[in-house]
Structure 1
Amino acid sequence: MLFGLAAPLAFLSLTAIAFGWEFTLFFTLGASSIVLTLGLAARVWLKKTLPPKQEGTIAFFHPEACGGGGGERVLWVAVQALQKALPSVKIVVYSASDNTSQQLLEIAADRFNISITSSIQVVQLRRGNLISPKQYPRFTLLRQAIGSVQLAYEGLHQLRPELFIDTSGWAFTYPMCRLSGVRVACYVHYPTVSTDMLQRVRQRKSLYNNSARVADSRPASWVKLLYYYFFAWFYSMAGACANVVMVNSSWTARHIRQLWWKLEEPHRVFPPCLTADLQQLPLDRKLKHLSLVSVAQFRPEKDHPMQLRAYAQARKWAQANSQERSSEAVLASRLKLVGSCRNTGDQLAIDNLKRLAAQLGIADCVDFHVNVPFSELRNLLGNAVAGLHTMVDEHFGISVVEYMAAGVIPIAHDSAGPKEDIVQIEAGKNGYHITGYLCTTLEQYSSAIIEALSLDHPSRLKIAAAARRKALEFSDERFCSEFLESVQPILPSL
């Protein structure tokens, strides 16, 4: 473990010597000494304070295990896969919710249609607020990272497993786990800090992770950029401590390859998507009402306001061009926003969206479906023509795959996962036809909505069929196979 920490620093030292960077060498050697000293002290302390390691135990670190997002689906499909492959292994979930193991399994069955018959143990984490961004109005990333280490220690203090699998992205917990003698695997959905984030701060672009107040100030932008670089350095070191690294997309793989100090390539394991059941929905659907659907957690980065504004602009165009054939389809449609509400912050976001819909004059044709079971989600997808996705740099985009599997035409953001791995906009590539739309601006989204709603029946069927074929690449079966293959070298030997 200590070599794992020292190797990247030694590499930087050699680089500094080669290029004559005396200051960099001085800093690197100093940092190496500090890290090694702290590592030795931490290892001794952890051996004294933590309970004996439970051999044959695999623990998943997923504080929001009761959530309804794609990360939680990865968690439960991974649990199911390990139980089938290793029936005698003991599965533990570190969770910050008050739900019992039975309640969590019921949530998995209800929201994701995942049936887990074998029992699991839940280690409840009482200090889940340590990783809540609301706790830290300043230096949020750094303070959350420190909080995640404290939270993981709380879990290890109750039960120290043989294998620790992080499925929620808290990389700063890995050094502590390795120092305590626990092997570590991780499934990275989204890098905590990425080169894209650094670039936005450098270019002073305002987005959900870079406020307009900071973007408008050159001094504030420089301070934040230095903070991000400092954080990225430690994040890279922490990531190097994982034995096995899995990522969910080509975009995430590229960023982890750039950031983390590891010689091995990360394993690209596409997340499990609801493809099998959704593919049973008829493509040649007879709809009483045209509807657009949006499936996403109610969080700022999902950019639901963009969806409302694009839909409102499409309806405004239709009202101004009533003589156009497509205007009738747009005016007859409804927008259905589907997602999970985890806390008061999410509820506030929903309330704000309802107010925005009213301000845009579309409140009477927008429906909110919150915390719906899988059966209702299936019905909503089965009655939709197109599905909206507006998150910038969505690491993968499970909802986009769900649209395609259900025969719903995706209208997704032209970046990251949807662009690189999922939506195809060029006919004939890899034997597929066009599978959806990729957009960036409000005007592009509005135009895509108008076009998708007004497609004639043969054209819609052609795109929907191609999209469904593409969705076959992202099945539960493929995830389970590649997940087990990735972690096989570090699984408990029973």
Structure 2
Amino acid sequence: MTEDRQLNVVFIHPDLGIGGAERAVVDAALALKSSGHSVQFVTAHHDPSHCFEETRDGQLKITAVGDWLPRHVFGRCAALCAYIRMIYAAIYLVFFSDINPDIIFCDQISACIPFLRISRVKIIFYCHFPDLLLTQRQNMFKRLYRWPIDWLEEWTTGMAHCILVNSKFTAGVFKDTFKTLGHINPEVLYPIPNLSTLGKPVDPLPKSHCPPKETKTLFLSINRYERKKNLGLAIEGLAKLKESIPLYGIHLIMAGGYDERVTENKEHYLELKELAEKLGVQTHVSFIRSFSDSEKRSLLSNATSLIYTPDKEHFGIVPVEAMFMQCPVIAVRSGGPVETVDDKVTGFLCDPTPQSFSESMLYFVKNPNAKEEMGRAGKLRVIEKFSFQAFSRQLNNLIMELKFGKEK
């Protein structure tokens, strides 16, 4: 790349913590950096004790602004507060910073795009999933509160110069949800992890994370402690498995992203522990609240299979990471995993029921060689279809076309 083709790309993101959306934009930034571009983040919140390593170790420049603004008002209006915080970050970027971007990469909250458009810079909006589908409308107050926010989301999303989605599944939901944006065909950019990070040496598991010594079949769940992730299904599947065979030598680790600031994380963690006790499998389930990248590599390397429970998940980066680490995947047959997991080859796609999950879990118990066979197939699939190099090329071509137009 010649020097005049090196672009300054700024990512603007609401909360640069730990989650699938955060992993996606961090990997996008690393991909563009590997292509020779200058990249940095502007965010409303960044806690060095609760973030991805690349945002803490100096690989990526992070500017946090507006964290003094409230995240909610007496436990309510979280969406409105998130919009205000993101708009504040956009105003800072456009009017008060010395940053001169060529491309602005925005995600999650589109309400800031009208303010970003003032800069006359090309704007990419990455729609992980329409926000209006992520909340319930239980009463008239909530419906009235959400109506202008939902309208604003659709209107401002359409103001981006380029719209990306994380899967074909999300592309279909986008078209069905945003009726006034029927003229837009979002481009699919799978949020692929930086496989060089996953490829680092695997350290032994810390003693606090080790399953019982007699464990021969280790199931692993990795997801944030959020109710929408359907994590209880993994525990229920284990309890259903208990009806078929004794659980001696079988263990489930529930490893989840956990933030003390988030009430739901704390509540759901306790709910899951209570569920394990209620179903009588508490001695076969252990819980990990947050973990490092090194610990995640160790967990995936030692696991017999990943249990991935979200239903209609937009994409799901963890199954891809698991397959690269040669860990087969048991996932719900819907959403992103349908595009990433090759059923009966790199794992199993199941109905979202304890019975269906337990049948797949039983397969790994009775077939000890399945991990190795499916694991090899999974790593090959990731390298062929979801490599960091292919992701980098696609994203680089996209921003170059957006900035300079198509090459003749």
Q: TM-score range by the shorter chain?
A: 0.7 to 0.9
**8 Å Cα contact 2:198-2:321 kept in structure 1:** yes
The residue aligned with 1:40 is none
Spell out the pairing of 1:87-486 with structure 2 (5 A cutoff). Answer: 87=37, 89=38, 91-97=39-45, 99=47, 107-108=53-54, 117=59, 120=61, 122-127=62-67, 130=70, 132=71, 134-135=72-73, 141=79, 144-159=82-97, 161-163=100-102, 165-194=104-133, 209-210=135-136, 214=138, 220=139, 231-258=149-176, 259=178, 261=181, 263-273=183-193, 275=195, 278=198, 289-315=216-242, 317-318=243-244, 327-328=245-246, 330-345=247-262, 346-419=265-338, 421-425=339-343, 433=345, 435-457=347-369, 459-472=370-383, 473-486=385-398
Within 2, Cα distance between the matches of 1:391 and 1:371?
A: 18
Quick one: which of 47, 62, 74 aligns to 2:24?
74
Identical counterparts, % of pairs? 20
CA distance in 1, matches of 2:51, 2:142: 41
Could you tell me whether the CA contact under 8 Å between 2:9 and 2:105 is conserved in 1? no
Q: Alpha carbons of 1:234 and 1:480: their partners in 2 closer, same or farther (altered >3 Å)?
A: same
Within 5 Å, which residues of 2 pair with 1:1-80? 57-65=8-16, 67-80=17-30
Measure, in 1, the Cα distance between the counterparts of 2:198 and 2:82.
Answer: 37
Distance in 2, Cα, partners of 1:99 & 1:462: 40
Alignment gaps of 5+ in structure 2: 1-5, 203-213
CA contact (8 A) 1:81 1:480 kept: yes
- Going from structure 1 to structure 2, the CA distance change for 1:278 and 1:151 (only over 3 Å counts) comes to closer
Name the SS of the counterpart of 1:388 in structure 2.
strand
Paired AA for residue 110 in structure 2: A
More helix per residue: 1
Where 2:63 maps in the other structure, the secondary structure is: strand
CA distance in structure 2 between the aligned counterparts of 1:135 and 1:310, rounded to whole angstroms: 38
Give the CA deviation at 1:397: 1.0
Change beyond 3 A, Cα 1:104–1:474:
same
Deviation at 1:336, TM superposition (A): 0.8
Partner of 1:50: none
In structure 2, how many angstroms separate the alpha carbons of the residues matched to 1:373 and 1:272?
A: 19
Query: Within 1, Cα distance between the matches of 2:78 and 2:156?
Result: 18
Q: Tell me how far apart the structure 1 counterparts of residues 68 and 130 of structure 2 sit (CA, whole Å).
A: 21
Output the TM-score relative to the length of structure 1: 0.68
TM-score by length of 2: 0.80
Q: CA deviation at 1:334?
A: 0.9
Distance 1:140 1:167, change over 3 A: same
Task: Tell me, yes or no, if the aligned pair for 1:64 and 1:96 is still in contact at 8 Å.
Answer: yes
Q: Report the CA distance shift for 1:407/1:281 in structure 2 as closer, same or farther (over 3 A).
A: farther
Question: Paired residues, what number?
Answer: 383
In 1, Cα distance between equivalents of 2:23 and 2:235: 27
* Other structure's SS at 1:79 match: helix
Q: CA deviation at 1:93?
A: 1.2
Q: Structure 1: any 5+ residue segments left out of the alignment?
A: 1-54, 198-208, 215-219, 319-326, 428-432
- For 1:63, the aligned partner's letter is P
What secondary structure does 1:68 align onto? coil
Counterpart position of 1:17: none
Tell me the distance in 2 between the aligned counterparts of 1:73 and 1:374. Answer: 11
Question: 1:140 & 1:417 partners in 2: Cα distance?
Answer: 27
Answer yes or no: is the 8 Å Cα contact 1:386–1:409 preserved in 2.
yes
CA distance in 2, matches of 1:404, 1:170: 30
Alpha-carbon contact 1:186-1:246 (below 8 Å) kept: yes
Task: Please give the secondary structure, in 1, of the residue aligned with 2:399.
Answer: helix
Where 2:172 maps in the other structure, the secondary structure is: helix
- Secondary structure at the aligned position of 1:162 is classed as coil
Contact 1:279/1:468 (8 A) holds in 2: no
Is the contact between residue 27 and residue 194 of structure 2 (CA under 8 Å) also seen in structure 1? no
> What letter corresponds to residue 218 of structure 2 in structure 1?
S
Alpha-carbon distance between aligned partners in 1 of 2:47 and 2:346, rounded to the nearest angstrom: 43
Q: 1:128 to 1:56 in 2, by over 3 A?
A: farther
